[in-house]
Amino acid sequence: MKNSSKYERQYFMPSEVTYDWVKKEYIQAPPVWCSVDLRDGNQSLIEPMSLEEKLEFFQLLVDVGFKEIEVGFPAASETEYQFMRTLIEKDMIPDDVTVQVLTQAREHIIKKTFEAVKGAPHAVVHLYNSTSVAQREQVFKKDKEQILKIAVDGAKLLKTLADETEGNFTFEYSPESFSGTEVEYAVEVCNAVLNVWEPTADNKAIINIPTTVENAMPHVFATQLEYVHKHLAHRDNVVLSLHPHNDRGCGVATAELGMLAGADRIEGTLFGNGERTGNVDIITLAMNMFSHGVDPKLDFSDMKKIRETYERLTRMHVYERQPYSGDLVFTAFSGSHQDAIAKGMAWRDAGKSEKWTVPYLPIDPQDVGRQYDSDVIRINSQSGKGGVNYILKQSYGINLPEKMREEVGYLVKGVSDRAHKELTPEWVYQIFNDNYVNAKSVFAIDECHFKQTDGIIADATIQHGSDTRIVTASGNGRLDAVSNAIKQYFNISYELRYYEEHSLTRGSSSKAVAYVGIVCQGKTYWGVGIDADIIKASIEALIVAVNKLDQINTADTVNDPRMIEIMNYIQANYIDVTLDDLAEKFYLSKPYLSKYIKEKSGVTFGELVKKVRMKKARAMLKSSSMTVENIALTVGYQNVEHFNRLFKKAYNMTPVQFRNQK
Ligand SMILES: CC(=O)SCCNC(=O)CCNC(=O)[C@H](O)C(C)(C)COP(=O)(O)OP(=O)(O)OC[C@H]1O[C@@H](n2cnc3c(N)ncnc32)[C@H](O)[C@@H]1OP(=O)(O)O
Ligand SMILES: CC(C)C(=O)C(=O)O
């Protein structure tokens, strides 16, 4: 960035500065809101709205609660003109809503505007002309006096035509490009206009101060505005309005500080649509007030519908991080945020705070129609155990024991990391289910009978491969007795250390969930059971946990049906399959997988893949006329010499010899 010297600040501080606005802390009551979606928003669209689209948008604005709506620039086009006529002639303006139209300070434009508003129950006619130094010099080529005269002449014509035209009219004046105008001069022009209109308490005028192009920091604007507020003529009979744009990204701050400095009214748009970077976003302004406990008197509770209508009619897109309305603005992917949100929600559920204080969530997402389930916590590789548990709890009623959460968290985020994908709640549950509930098992307990003696005696029917045996063991509870029977059968030892249970709060609420953690050689192995019978659920959980012990699962993997799936996957993806792919696809750890594959095929994963490739190559040599080089490439070898060597090692002859043999 070499050329900053070609710029200089183009705003003007007032000659007299006061900072009363600094002493005010927050906005205690909503301003008069005026939507300019159908004018400033519409004039900046690639494809302005049709009459029908404007009618639908108008209804949306009425439904949200706007009482003042700038509906267009009737002299601009036939659509604009007819839109105003339609609203009046079809009696579509609710009694408590005032429509507003914009006009340049040019005679024929003003006249056309009054033709358009004829018969309006109540309309604001909004007059503007540009007052900035740049526009005076470059566009109008007029001095201050001549520019003031344009405004005054326009104001006079408005007054005359309002008297002559059927309808009920209020006047508004904007010193357009105020942000590049000397503040005292802007006030002088406004006061000249006000002196023509002579507003009264019953018929106030609106003076609208625009940051037509935002060019200063918000505190500068507040200071300028405070000067206007203190120096306007007829101030008691003037509604002081703001019209912030967003060129420096400060439209909201400008509006908020401007309100502290004396503004009574805000012109803006939904989602900040408008010229260049847009007008100020009224949704953000209103929701900011709402989050301070002030009712903004606009209703954004059905944000989804508002956004859908807006996007459809304007053909614009609401940015994912647009305050209060973007897709991601209530979402936490990262572990520490998720942890705090989950704890904050639990705090709230426990009734510990009457007011909304959940960390990382500026407002309750439900207040703008968002869902806790799908909008707040989402899982990717940045997530943590708190988030994963929250998803399982919110969506499936699974509340993991504290001690189990970390393992599940790392397992789930590992899948996301390898897949480079966000995991849906369904996917998270599937990983959980595959690893803890319906995990592979080399043995089962088909039946179990208990007798109460000093402790408990269990007769457990253990089925392991082709062996089925009833093992009797005692324990200080049912699960302990079954656990002792398992230890006896496999001749293994571990400690049954963790047990938790709860009823399912989602889905089948008649079911219970049991979590079992066993400790062997310092490592904890977890299993989960879900069943209507809590004893059955806890035995299932124990079986899953025991199955994870090395002593058990090295005994028999050959019968594992998943092994067939793994082989099929390798066959189908033999060119570029990796152990990482398999681990991700089957939710198994890499060491565990390596062991499986060795046991099943007698060779390592790498050797197995080579074998599959050679088999494919042999089939191609037999059935196709492809060159050996191309066959080598097809089965994944760039170097044909290397391929030849591997082939010879596998089949004791080169590919060419193989092809040539009869
Ligand atoms: C900051 C804002 O958003 S202001 C609103 C801007 N919105 C729009 O412009 C959308 C609707 N506008 C239009 O459809 C057209 O501009 C019309 C129909 C109003 C006027 O069209 P045209 O007369 O063809 O041209 P244009 O707008 O370019 O007018 C330029 C002339 O008007 C003058 N002019 C521009 N604005 C104003 C004004 N507010 N008051 C008085 N004169 C003005 C210019 O100085 C220029 O004068 P010149 O002919 O002597 O050079
Ligand atoms: C007409 C005025 C208010 C305007 O749109 C602007 O200055 O941005």
**pLDDT exceeds cutoff 80 at 505:** no
* Probe target for ligand 1 pocket from 80, 106, 115, 209, with the most ligand atoms within 8 Å of CB: 106
The stretch 244-257 carries a mean pLDDT of 98
Q: 439-460 pLDDT, tens per residue?
A: 878 899 999 999 998 889 999 9
Q: Tell whether ligand 1 has an atom less than 6 A from the beta carbon of residue 42.
A: no
What's the pLDDT at 556? 45
Closest ligand by atom to 70 CA: 2
* Probe target for ligand 2 pocket from 34, 38, 40, with the most ligand atoms within 8 Å of CB: 40
Q: 299-332 pLDDT, tens per residue?
A: 999 999 999 999 999 999 999 999 999 999 999 9
> pTM to 2 decimals?
0.82
Instruction: Name every residue whose Cβ is closer than 8 Å to that of residue 301 and which is 6 or more positions away in sequence.
Output: 367, 368, 369
Instruction: Name every residue whose Cβ is closer than 8 Å to that of residue 202 and which is 6 or more positions away in sequence.
Output: none
**Residue type for position 80:** E
Q: Tell whether ligand 2 has an atom less than 6 A from the beta carbon of residue 70.
A: no
What's the pLDDT at 662? 62
What's the pLDDT at 630? 86
Question: Quick one: residue 262, left, alpha or beta (phi over 0 = left, psi -120 to 50 = alpha)?
Answer: left
Of the given ranges (63-72, 220-229, 525-534, 574-583), which has the lowest mean pLDDT? Answer: 574-583
Q: Tell whether ligand 2 has an atom less than 6 A from the beta carbon of residue 176.
A: yes
Q: Tell whether ligand 1 has an atom less than 6 A from the beta carbon of residue 147.
A: no
**pLDDT exceeds cutoff 80 at 524:** yes
**pLDDT exceeds cutoff 90 at 206:** yes
The stretch 146-162 carries a mean pLDDT of 98
Closest ligand by atom to 76 CA: 1
Q: 123-135 pLDDT, tens per residue?
A: 999 999 999 999 9
Closest CA to 159 of 119, 121, 205: 205
Residue of minimum CA distance from atom 23 in ligand 1? 109
Closest ligand by atom to 135 CA: 1
Q: 46-88 pLDDT, tens per residue?
A: 999 999 999 999 999 999 999 999 999 999 999 999 999 999 9
What's the pLDDT at 557? 43
The stretch 484-501 carries a mean pLDDT of 95
Q: Is 243 annotated as a binding residue?
A: yes
Locate the ligand 2 atom nearest the alpha carbon of residue 275 and give its number.
Answer: 8
As a whole number, the mean pLDDT across the chain is: 94
Q: 376-415 pLDDT, tens per residue?
A: 999 999 999 999 999 999 999 999 999 999 999 999 988 8
Q: Tell whether ligand 1 has an atom less than 6 A from the beta carbon of residue 105.
A: yes
Residue 589's pLDDT band (cuts 50, 70, 90): confident
* Probe target for ligand 1 pocket from 36, 104, 113, 135, with the most ligand atoms within 8 Å of CB: 104
**Rounded Cα–Cα distance for residues 242 and 586 (Å):** 60
Locate the ligand 2 atom nearest the alpha carbon of residue 177 and give its number.
Answer: 7
Locate the ligand 2 atom nearest the alpha carbon of residue 128 and give its number.
Answer: 1
Q: Is 279 annotated as a binding residue?
A: yes
- HEC string of 90-106 equals CCCCCCCCEEEEEEECC
**pLDDT exceeds cutoff 90 at 259:** yes
Q: Is 67 exposed, middle or buried (0-12, 13-18, 19+ CB in 10 A)?
A: middle
Residue of minimum CA distance from atom 7 in ligand 2? 212
Q: Tell whether ligand 1 has an atom less than 6 A from the beta carbon of residue 112.
A: no
What's the pLDDT at 509? 65
Q: Tell whether ligand 1 has an atom less than 6 A from the beta carbon of residue 73.
A: yes
- For tokens 């572990």, name the residue: 335
Residue of minimum CA distance from atom 8 in ligand 2? 212
What's the pLDDT at 572? 79
Question: Quick one: residue 397, left, alpha or beta (phi over 0 = left, psi -120 to 50 = alpha)?
Answer: left
| C-alpha atoms less than 13 angstroms from C-alpha of 475 in its C-beta half-sphere | 21
Q: 554-572 pLDDT, tens per residue?
A: 544 445 566 677 877 887 7
Q: 97-124 pLDDT, tens per residue?
A: 999 999 999 999 999 999 999 999 999 9
Q: Tell whether ligand 1 has an atom less than 6 A from the beta carbon of residue 139.
A: yes
Q: Tell whether ligand 1 has an atom less than 6 A from the beta carbon of residue 40.
A: yes
Question: How far does residue 104's CA lie from ligand 1's centre (Å)?
Answer: 6
- Confirm whether the ipTM is greater than 0.90: yes
The stretch 611-620 carries a mean pLDDT of 88
